Amino acid sequence: MSLVAQLPALIGVVVGTFGSYVVQSLTERRRWKRQRDERWDERRFETYGRYGNAVKSQLRVAQRIGAARGFLDVTDSLEPEEGLPLLAEAESHRATEWESVLLVGDAATIAAARRWHETVWTIELLVREGPVDPEKWTKAHQLASAARDAFYASARRDLGIAGDPPPSGAWPRPWRAELSG
């Protein structure tokens, strides 16, 4: 058999081998990309959760100091002398978690996270300044609740989680009005 007669079979083998290689390479590339995306989704989920917990902890300390300053919406007060160092520590922890959000978050979630911690800073400033107008206290908490909702809605969109998160509770708390009513 001459080389010319065998040429179509050789070309078929070469084309088949090349085709198999290309298909296998594309399949592996897609698998690797999917696994990488899943790992990053998991990291973003963990990062957003840690950040949310850090901001909430900071807010909680500020609220407890506010209770010591006479705000009635929080029941477990914390004297400023004891609470302000805890508030500074909570801010340091939040700032550390913030760096991870900047690394893995999308632009919308980063903006929402920034807005949330800025509203918490407002509450922190109110408790540091001493006696505060109850209307300012209520307004600051309403803004923080709305910012929290926006952060979680944005984080859920970024993570591909369907549906809206449950809304924050109303401020001032309805149970307080019910008790005094």
Domain boundary assignment for the chain = 41-180
**Helix ranges, 69-169 (H):** 80-104, 107-129, 134-159
* Residue among 113, 91, 110, 111 at smallest CA distance from 102: 110
The tokens 């999917």 sit on which residue? 34
pLDDT of residue 102: 97
pLDDT of residue 105: 95
pLDDT of residue 116: 98
Token couple for 82: 């004891």
| Fold annotation for 41-180 | A middle domain of Talin 1 (1.20.1420)
165 within 8 A of 152, measured Cβ to Cβ: yes
pLDDT of residue 24: 80
Distance CA 144, CA 142 (A): 5
- The structure's pTM equals 0.76
pLDDT of residue 68: 92
pLDDT of residue 171: 63
- 10-residue block means of pLDDT along the chain (181 residues)? 72 76 75 69 93 97 93 84 97 97 96 98 92 87 94 94 78 64 57
Distance CA 124, CA 84 (A): 9
